[in-house]
């Protein structure tokens, strides 16, 4: 597995087949399982059987180990983590120390996006909104903290939005349909430009040029044609869908680092802010999360966005290391 290029500290571009991405996810799972306490001979035999099943499995495992190594290096370079010590007063000190080290290494593997990096072709970092040229001449711009995987062959072009939001401008190729998969939503371009947002509770599709066909895996009436200037939403929990006219300038304001909201819940605003923040933003209670806010904020500037919320909602902001807590 070799990197195709980098446009920032976290943006990756690779050419991996869907089978390779599945293999890398299995490798990440084996790394975590091999570090669990109480591994048995049967576990070891199953791991060896997986390795022997395909020579590429060993390569995938080595790639995952390299990512774990990056996490370990980060741990060793961070004074707070490097100097972390546990001082139990019993004979189990070595065991607890080892478990702590494994827990921290495994946590950092997840923190450094190890599983996502093993399956994605492109990942945008918190300070990135890269424009990526695909091999067919199409382009895609990723919102911060977003990730995609693409699979092109002689008969189809498929992009999976694994996380976040992306704007697509599709090159014409009548013999190879261009499809974006975002969870239970499948969008097929009809010579078009469109935006897809895979949120925590809803997936939104907005068309800015020509039309798309939207299909919903969990809906009885599972297809919808959207024209230029229209938007569809799909609720992950209820499987309900909505469709209607859209303000495309508002929907694409993220490309300028802005968030324009009209009576949106605070939870939605925080979700968008979190794309640009490397720590975690927490809302203190559910009632506050449901409070509504309207306005325009520079969402790519966390400090400015928080100041806007303080003025608009009268909330208090508390910072605890990499964690920001929003409370009444």
The full set of domain ranges for the chain reads 18-119, 122-246, 257-327
What per-residue confidence (pLDDT) applies to 118?
74
CATH of domain 122-246: 2.60.120.1440
Number of Cβ within a 10 Å radius of residue 232? 22
Quote the CA–CA distance of 283 and 55 in Å, as a whole number: 47
Q: Do domains 122-246 and 257-327 have the same CATH topology?
A: no
What per-residue confidence (pLDDT) applies to 81?
42
What per-residue confidence (pLDDT) applies to 195?
98
CATH of domain 257-327: 3.55.50.30
What per-residue confidence (pLDDT) applies to 37?
65
Number of Cβ within a 10 Å radius of residue 133? 11
What per-residue confidence (pLDDT) applies to 188?
96
What per-residue confidence (pLDDT) applies to 6?
43
Q: Considering Cα of 212, then 213, then 216, then 220, what sign does the dihedral take?
A: positive
Quote the CA–CA distance of 126 and 274 in Å, as a whole number: 8
Can you give the pLDDT of all 328 residues of the chain as single tens digits? 333 334 444 566 555 566 766 776 677 777 777 766 677 888 888 888 888 888 888 877 777 676 655 445 444 444 444 444 444 444 444 444 444 444 444 444 444 555 777 788 999 989 899 999 999 999 999 999 999 999 999 999 999 999 999 999 999 998 999 999 999 999 999 989 999 999 999 999 999 999 999 998 876 667 899 999 999 999 999 988 999 999 888 889 999 999 999 899 999 999 999 999 988 899 999 999 999 999 999 999 999 999 999 999 999 999 988 889 999 8
What per-residue confidence (pLDDT) applies to 10?
55
Q: Is 285 exposed, middle or buried (0-12, 13-18, 19+ CB in 10 A)?
A: exposed
Give the HSE-up count for residue 145: Cα atoms under 13 Å, Cβ half-sphere: 21
Q: How far is C-alpha 70 from the chain's CA centre?
A: 20
What per-residue confidence (pLDDT) applies to 105?
46
Quote the CA–CA distance of 208 and 240 in Å, as a whole number: 23
What per-residue confidence (pLDDT) applies to 33?
75
Quote the CA–CA distance of 290 and 167 in Å, as a whole number: 28
């Amino acid at each position: 597995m070799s990197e195709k290029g980098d446009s920032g500290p976290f943006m990756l571009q690779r050419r991996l087949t869907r089978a390779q991405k599945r293999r890398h996810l299995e490798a990440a799972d084996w790394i975590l399982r091999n570090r669990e306490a109480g591994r048995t001979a049967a576990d070891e035999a199953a791991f060896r059987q997986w390795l022997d099943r395909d020579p590429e499995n060993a390569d995938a495992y080595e790639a995952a180990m390299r990512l774990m190594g990056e996490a370990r290096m980060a741990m060793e370079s961070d004074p707070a983590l490097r100097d972390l010590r546990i001082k139990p007063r019993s004979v189990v000190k070595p065991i607890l120390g080892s478990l702590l080290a494994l827990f921290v290494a495994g946590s950092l593997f997840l923190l450094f996006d190890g599983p996502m990096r093993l399956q994605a072709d492109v990942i945008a970092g918190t300070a990135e909104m890269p424009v990526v040229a695909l091999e067919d001449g199409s382009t895609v711009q990723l919102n911060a903290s977003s990730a995609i995987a693409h699979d092109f062959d002689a008969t189809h072009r498929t992009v999976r939005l694994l996380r976040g939001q992306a704007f697509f401008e599709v090159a014409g190729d009548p013999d190879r349909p261009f499809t974006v998969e975002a969870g239970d939503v499948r969008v097929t371009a009809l010579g078009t430009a469109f935006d897809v947002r895979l949120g925590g509770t809803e997936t939104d599709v907005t068309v800015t040029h020509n039309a798309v066909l939207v299909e919903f895996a969990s809906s009885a009436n599972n297809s919808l044609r959207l024209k230029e200037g229209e938007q569809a939403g799909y609720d992950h929990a209820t499987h309900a869908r909505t469709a209607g006219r859209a303000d495309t300038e508002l929907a694409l304001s993220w490309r300028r680092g802005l968030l324009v909201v009209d009576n949106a819940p605070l939870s939605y605003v925080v979700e968008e802010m979190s794309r640009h923040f490397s720590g975690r933003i927490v809302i203190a209670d559910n009632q506050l999360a449901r409070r509504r806010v309207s306005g325009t904020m520079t969402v790519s500037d966390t400090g400015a966005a928080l100041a806007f919320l303080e003025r608009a909602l009268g909330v208090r902001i508390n910072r605890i290391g990499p964690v920001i807590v929003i409370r009444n």
